[in-house]
Amino acid sequence: MMNLRPGFLSTLAATLLTASAQFATAQSVAVPKALAQGIAPLAAVEKVPMPEVDNAALLSKALVLDEAGPFHFAEAIPVSLSPYDSGTWEWLADGSAVWRLRVASKGAESINLGFGRYAMPEGGRMFLYSADYSTVLGPFTEADNEKHGQLWTPLIESDEIVVEITVPGEKAAEVDVILTSVNHGYRKVGGYLEKSGSCNVDTVCSQGDDWRDQIQSVAVYGTSGTTFCTGALVNNTAQDGKPYFLTAYHCEVDATDAPSIVVYWNYENSTCRTPGSTASSQTGDGSFNQFNTGSILRAAYSASDMTLLELDDPVDPAYDPYWAGWDRTGANATSAVAIHHPNTEEKRISFEYDSTTITSYLQSSVPGDSTHIRVADWDLGTTEPGSSGSPLFDQNKRIIGQLHGGYAACGNDESDWYGRLFISWTGGGTSATRLSDWLDPLGTGVTTLDGRGTSDFLSGGAILIDDTLGTGDGDGIAERGEDTIRLTIPIQNISTGTRTGVSAVLTTTTLGVTIVSDTASYGTLAPDETASNAVPFTISIGSEVPCGTQIALNLTVSSAEAQGAFAEILPTGPNCDVLSELASGGAPVLDDTTGNGNSNGLPDPGETALHLTLPLTNTGGLAVAPSATLESLTDTASVLVGTRSWPNIANGATASNADPFVLAIATEHPCGDPIDLRLTVQGTGETIVLTYRLETGAFDPNQTGTITTSVTPGTEFGVTAETVTETITVTGEGTVLDVNLTVNMAHTWDEDLDIYLISPAGTEAHLFNRLGSSGDNLTDTVFDDEAGTAIGSGSPPFTGSFRPYQPLSVFDGEPIAGDWKVRIVDNANLDSGTVNLLKLDIEAGVIVCEPAVGAIKPGDTSGNGTITPQDAQDAFMCYLLGTCEPGKQASAADIWPDDGDGCVDANDGDGAITPSDAQRIFDRAIGVLNSCP
């Protein structure tokens, strides 16, 4: 039976996979908000179920498709889900906004996602994770924004995954991410197919020792989230490390599919399983925690089964990539080696000790059409389905072709055929159909080129740290908050030739770390010589960087003779102050059962002695007994007791202040106005500041209703590109609970239009975003947050109710009265329209506050609900000086309550409170007197 080479199926370990700022896969210590900070449980997040998929039927179909093309493992389910029409938003106390969406596909062995639109604003981060958090991908950031505008993700072995985006609150409206493909894995990773044959040889075995560099060039990749193949990094005459990736034409990667490529590096078994043993035919322990995502199609030629891609991010030097050399002379190899992934398992190496021949595909006659290289049979190891696109190396360790197909398997002496690099070099005569433009960009005309690793240079020793400048403490340890850290990084020339004019550029993929001075020179380096940069690099570490972070540094080295790159890890001090890792761990807890509170759980005007507890979560190292000061940012609210402490808070734990803060709300505080508070946490040499908001009052269920206001302007517009603004004046009192807008508009080209709603307070929501192509009109179009269909899923004339592009809930809590404005932007000339009807339906309510129970207790001079020795001292002074405020001069029971022993008139029993009585009350309060005289 003929075994053509379908691609690759991976076992994705439950491990932290990361996307980076410069390299698409650099390690990160960042974690999703759902793990780092207590937010709503996943049960409160919208779950979108996918249509049911028949795994068995798809598998039967795939087994047929696999014979002639790449390996099929998943079914693409088209969707259109974005943060503005799906999922759940939350706004957190630290000012950030979090959007989450649960995606469920019943019976899926795995799920991977395709974002047809990915444009993340600065400061935004996206994570993907299984519902039990066992597998986490991310963060994907603004650095993953590509020209093609897409992002495709590795698979997660689960039938439900969560998409989480965290962004600074003010940038929430800038998130432009649309999930367009949910890829349902109907084959379990490592299941259904036979394991790789036992005759195969693990690349870690001693047989691979002479091929260590070439092994590092080979990787496996997925396309469009549904198929897999194999390929290899190849060198070019510029020796500039461009990530050109050679694979097979029959793996079906075209210009449309290229952005969906996800390449996995170093998928290898950790031990050598003896060839021929039972263990060698079993699934190994390879890891999939290193990947690149996204590529650009550079060339393709079917006659020699060639496709060349360029990955759209550099390969992380930490993965030790190797750019394989090549030979385009067309000569037969005297021996050959294949490095590949048989039956979608860990990387293997196979050997042919005899010469190759030149033939047609699947033919043995020499030379045939000369498009392919025939390997007569493998002397050690084999290839199998799953090896498509893998490189064939000659005796000089240069690529001469890539695997097209064949009959080879363990237990036979059948042949394989590889598309010839010699034919692919000139291909179809254009840059899009040949290799020469890409692999010889300098036009040298060379016929062979050796491979290269990440660098001719190697880090030559430990990084020297100078933190005596700026905010540094001079202890020689890189710590967060230090803004002028100078680094000396030795490098060694490990090549056999002298390197002249050596210089380097420093970059980092660690969030919060800034390279202030990124370039340095090293002069001339003889072979094996080590030198340090003449001028230090300078970096700054932000105060938000977690304590103990491993900073990923990448050094790109250039010389007149060669270029290279390598990675370094710079640890930050384990004893750095961790207070910057304290964050609001939940909503404030208010207790208004004290003082004169009315016990309704809300801060109401006139209430005093309100107790407030503030939970804090620690996402850094151990926080040792933090203390903080609370102050009011609202004139009509006072903090009576504003300094409190917390117990030690371990990493990931949440704790509350041991004793409550105490607040008082003035009677003149407007009902419904919020109370803003600021908490300043004191640290060693630093502080962090958190803000909180307490809402006052509640909606009266007896004072809610819907106000409908409409206008029929009849405004004509759009012969030239223009903006029109219509006003809807709303009268009455109340606060917005919900807003819906109905639009009737005649227009000849809906895709020219943007529609916005602006409240009297100036808040704006973008409702309609250039939809509907050449469709005519918006007829009885209702924008409603509660609608079942997003406006982006509608079609002209959009009759019915739709969720808007941005939510109307941004108006909730604002006053209803004033001029509401509808802004309509026509973005093109020629097509025109008329605004016929605009109608606002506003559900409004009246916020009411309950009265305080009564005046502050006489004698409680601080107003904190408890009569303390200080209160007694205050009472004594006011009696002594005759300056008591109204309500403070009262009976002894008020100043110091009778506890049943009859001690009221503490001095002379004359029934009147005198200064002497107050003195004795004070003395008793502080323990000088233990009983009445």
- Edge-first strand listing for the sheet containing 722-730: 722-730, 818-826, 753-758, 764-769
Task: Indicate left, alpha or beta for 343 from its phi (over 0: left) and psi (-120 to 50: alpha).
Answer: left
Task: Indicate left, alpha or beta for 830 from its phi (over 0: left) and psi (-120 to 50: alpha).
Answer: left
| Of the candidates 479, 529, 523, the residue with the CA atom closest to the CA atom of residue 504 | 523
Whether 388 sits among the annotated catalytic residues: the reply is yes
Task: Indicate left, alpha or beta for 709 from its phi (over 0: left) and psi (-120 to 50: alpha).
Answer: beta
Cα-based distances in Å from 150 to 130, 160, 299, 454: 22, 22, 20, 28
Q: How far apart are CA 898 and CA 901, in angstroms?
A: 7
Q: How far apart are CA 332 and CA 321, in angstroms?
A: 27
Cβ atoms of 251 and 69 within 8 Å: the answer is: yes
Cβ atoms of 336 and 417 within 8 Å: the answer is: no
Q: What count of Cα atoms within 13 Å lies in the side-chain half-sphere of residue 760?
A: 13
Cβ atoms of 718 and 831 within 8 Å: the answer is: yes
Helix (H) or strand (E) holding 214: helix 212-215
Q: Report, in this order, helix, strand and coil percent for the chain, each rounded to 5.
A: 10, 40, 50
Residue 606 in tokens: 């006139």
- Assign 849 to helix, strand or coil: coil
Q: How far apart are CA 534 and CA 521, in angstroms?
A: 6
Query: What are the CB-based long-range contacts (under 8 Å, 24+) for 468-477?
Result: 475/573, 477/572, 477/573
Whether 305 sits among the annotated catalytic residues: the reply is yes
User: Which residue is listed with tokens 């840059």?
Assistant: 431
User: Which residue is listed with tokens 């080879």?
Assistant: 408
Neighbours of 60 (CB within 10 A): 10
Residue 249 DSSP one-character state: G
Q: How far apart are CA 390 and CA 381, in angstroms?
A: 15
Of 82, 388, 415, 455, the catalytic one is 388
Cβ atoms of 87 and 132 within 8 Å: the answer is: no
Cα 216 to chain centroid distance, Å, stands at 28
User: Which residue is listed with tokens 């500039």?
Assistant: 240
Whether 379 sits among the annotated catalytic residues: the reply is no
Of 305, 752, 831, 917, the catalytic one is 305
Burial 620-643 (b: 16+ CB within 10 A, else e): bbebeebebebebebebbbbbbbe
Q: How far apart are CA 166 and CA 124, in angstroms?
A: 6
Q: How far apart are CA 324 and CA 394, in angstroms?
A: 12
Backbone angles phi, psi at 416, to 5 degrees: -125, 155
**With 0-12 CB in 10 A as exposed, 13-18 as middle and 19+ as buried, what is 826?**
buried
Neighbours of 231 (CB within 10 A): 30
Residue 108 in tokens: 């899926």
Q: How far apart are CA 531 and CA 521, in angstroms?
A: 10
Cβ atoms of 52 and 106 within 8 Å: the answer is: yes
| Of the candidates 682, 669, 681, the residue with the CA atom closest to the CA atom of residue 634 | 669
Residue 50 in tokens: 């996918």
Residue 109 in tokens: 């062995």
Cα-based distances in Å from 906 to 163, 225, 249, 712, 876: 69, 85, 101, 79, 13
Catalytic residue list? 250, 305, 388
